[in-house]
Each structure stands twice: as structure tokens, then as C-alpha cells.
């Protein structure tokens, strides 16, 4: 299976690392904003073609699929472009930065019948998979989730500390991870949302602090706190308060409420969530099924983000 990768930045490289570990899959082209740095990434990963034009990459011989790690603002147009070219597509989170664009991607997938998936990585992290499996087996049931997403980003930089050509967003990117995860783990629709945002950065034009509260049909609740002002420790931390135990997930580490370590190394074939979501994407293409985190499955998340943004306004 041949794939192209658009967006050769910090997250694009994580996908290239994951693809290397998947038998029968080859990245044949890398797309970037600047040709010299894109060629360097291609050389580093042994990829023969580099370009600044997504259309050129999609036209490479035998290309089956594309992975988009490009700026959020062009996710929708590029995803639709890939499907119009007959290619399966995985869009890194977020699917889009508006509900209308998210719906347009879902509509195009329904029209073409191609595999279209969004990189909601938390569904694939072994720590969260362990919780999901316990809920599915009827051993635990969520009462409340408390999620903290904290970074120190008062300048426009990416996860590698490099300058960005676009502006990240607490709501349409970082909250998307947690809103989708809550709904996925609760296995229920979110029926009530509230949101509050702090002052907007004078140069970046985005809120630097945010709080979101949600409730599902049966009354499960979730509180999300997000900040670009937090000066360490950095990252996202998830507390699951259940009817039969409390669990805390920190990246791929999972502990109970008393900080006793839970071994999640045997939950899946890898501890790398990006690799696992890529495996799901390629398996869905090969076997012809709807993948976990398909664009249709995650659309409810973007409805919630839209509802929260309306409350900000």
C-alpha cells in the first residue's frame, strides 16, 4: 500500500516513524511548505519524492491514501481534495475548525465511500484502551472525568519548539481530543455543554485559558481545563472517577487513584498511539471496514465544539 504524507513537521515525522513499523505500507511522497526542508525529511526517511504540491503527490504512481498533518485551517479542503482524487485519507486532529467544514468532509466520505478517518489518538493510546475495555466488559462505569491540558505557548511555536506558519487553538484542537474521548468512553451522547474562556492573546488572537463542562444522557459529567499560560508541568492528564475505582492516565502511563501502576503493555501490539491509529487506517483500507475514529464517528465532537464556541460568543 502506497501513501503520501502532507505536513512534514513534528507530527508528520511521528507518522513516518509509525509507518516504518507497519509491514506492507510505504510512504512514497512527502509534501511540505518549503521544498528544502521537505526534501531533507524525505531523505532522512528514505522517501524518493518531495514536493510542495499535494496534487503532485497524489498523482504519484500507485498512491492509495494520504495522511494530512497540515495546518488546521486547510484540513477540510485537503481532505476533500484527496477523496476527489480517489484516495483514502486520514486527517490529523482536528478534523476541521468549524462544524460546517467537518460536515462537508463527512458528506464527501459518504459520497465517495472511501475510508476517511481523523487522528483522535486518545482512542488508540493503550492507557485509554484499557479503560475502554473495562467499561465494555461491564467492570467499571464512569461517573466523572476531569481532564487538564496545560502548555506554555505564549509564542506561535509547535510541539518541537519551532515557529509555526499558523495558529493553534485550545478549543478546535486540544479540546477536541478530550471531548471526543469523554463521549467515546462514556458511550453516550453529550446533551449539555458550558464553556468559559479567558482573555485573548493580543498578537495570536486566541484565548489562552479555557474551561468546558459537559454532561451525557445518563448524567455522566466531565470538566476540561485548558491553558497555554501554564509554566510546567506540561501535557494532558485524565482522571477517570468510576463506580468501581479511580484511574489516572498520563500519556501512556496509567495508575489507580493511589498511584499504583497498571501495566498496559499488553493491551495492543504497540505502546505508540500514532502507530496504532495508522495501523487502524491501513487495515480499514485493506479489509474494507469503517475504522475506529472515522469522520462520521467523530462528527459529534465537532458539534459539541461548535456549541461551546457559540456560548463563548
pLDDT in tens, 229-259: 999 888 999 999 999 999 999 988 999 999 9
73-126 tens-digit pLDDT: 999 999 999 999 999 999 999 999 999 999 999 999 999 999 999 999 999 999
How many residues does the structure list for the chain?
313
- Residue 253 falls inside a structural domain: yes
Integer Cα distance of 119 and 79 in angstroms: 13
Question: What is the grid cell recorded at 143?
Answer: 461517573
CA-to-CA dists, residue 67 to 54, 132, 153, 306, angstroms: 11, 26, 26, 25
The reply to whether 12 and 146 lie within a common domain is no
Strand order in the sheet with 261-262: 190-197, 209-216, 221-227, 142-150, 235-242, 245-250, 253-256, 261-262
The reply to whether 129 and 263 lie within a common domain is yes
81 three-state secondary structure: helix
For residue 169, what are the contacts with CB-CB under 8 A and spacing of at least 6? 72, 97, 206
Task: List % helix, strand, coil for the chain (3-state, nearest 5).
Answer: 35, 30, 35
Range(s) of the domain holding residue 61: 2-120+274-293
9 or 277: which leads in pLDDT: 277
The reply to whether 132 and 260 lie within a common domain is yes
- Residue 155 falls inside a structural domain: yes
If one counts the domains in the chain, the total is 2
Integer Cα distance of 295 and 83 in angstroms: 13
For residue 24, what are the contacts with CB-CB under 8 A and spacing of at least 6? 1, 282
The reply to whether 255 and 288 lie within a common domain is no
Q: What is the helix (H) or strand (E) element at residue 209, kind and residue range? A: strand 209-216
- CATH number, domain with residue 109: 3.40.50.720
The reply to whether 116 and 88 lie within a common domain is yes
The reply to whether 10 and 34 lie within a common domain is yes
Q: Rounded mean pLDDT of 205-221?
A: 96
- CATH number, domain with residue 215: 3.30.360.10
CA-to-CA dists, residue 142 to 200, 220, 274, angstroms: 34, 7, 25
Q: How confident is the model at residue 54 (pLDDT cuts 50, 70, 90)?
A: very high
pTM > 0.85: yes
Question: What is the grid cell recorded at 177?
Answer: 481530543
The reply to whether 229 and 283 lie within a common domain is no
Amino acid at each position: 500500500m502506497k501513501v503520501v504524507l502532507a505536513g512534514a513537521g513534528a507530527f508528520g515525522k511521528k507518522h513516518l516513524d509509525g509507518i516504518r513499523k507497519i509491514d506492507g505500507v510505504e510512504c512514497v511522497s512527502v509534501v511540505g511548505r518549503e521544498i528544502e526542508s521537505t526534501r531533507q525529511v524525505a531523505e532522512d526517511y528514505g522517501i524518493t519524492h518531495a514536493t510542495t504540491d499535494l496534487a503532485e503527490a497524489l498523482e504519484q504512481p500507485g498512491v492509495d491514501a494520504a495522511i494530512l498533518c497540515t495546518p488546521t485551517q486547510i484540513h477540510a479542503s485537503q481532505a476533500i481534495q484527496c477523496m476527489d482524487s480517489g484516495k483514502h485519507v486520514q486527517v490529523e486532529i482536528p478534523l476541521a475548525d468549524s462544524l460546517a467544514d467537518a460536515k462537508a468532509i463527512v458528506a464527501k466520505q459518504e459520497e465517495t465511500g472511501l475510508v476517511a478517518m481523523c487522528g483522535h489518538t486518545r482512542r488508540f493510546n493503550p492507557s485509554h484502551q484499557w479503560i475502554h475495555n473495562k467499561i465494555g466488559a461491564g467492570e467499571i462505569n464512569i461517573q466523572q472525568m476531569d481532564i487538564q491540558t496545560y502548555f506554555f505557548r505564549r509564542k506561535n511555536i509547535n510541539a518541537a519548539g519551532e515557529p509555526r506558519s499558523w495558529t493553534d487553538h485550545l478549543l478546535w484542537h486540544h479540546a477536541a481530543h478530550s471531548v471526543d474521548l469523554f463521549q467515546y468512553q462514556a458511550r453516550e451522547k453529550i446533551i449539555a455543554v458550558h464553556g468559559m474562556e479567558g482573555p485573548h492573546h493580543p498578537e495570536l488572537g486566541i484565548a489562552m485559558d479555557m474551561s468546558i463542562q459537559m454532561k451525557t444522557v445518563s448524567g455522566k459529567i466531565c470538566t476540561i481545563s485548558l491553558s497555554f499560560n501554564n509554566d510546567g508541568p506540561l501535557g494532558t492528564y485524565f482522571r477517570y472517577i468510576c463506580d468501581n475505582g479511580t484511574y489516572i492516565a498520563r500519556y501512556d502511563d496509567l495508575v489507580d487513584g493511589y498511584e499504583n501502576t497498571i501495566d498496559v503493555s499488553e493491551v495492543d501490539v504497540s505502546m505508540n498511539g500514532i502507530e496504532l491509529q495508522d495501523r487502524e487506517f491501513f487495515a480499514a483500507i485493506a479489509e474494507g471496514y469503517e475504522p475506529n475514529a472515522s469522520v462520521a464517528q467523530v462528527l459529534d465532537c465537532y458539534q459539541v465544539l461548535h456549541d461551546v464556541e457559540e456560548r463563548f460568543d
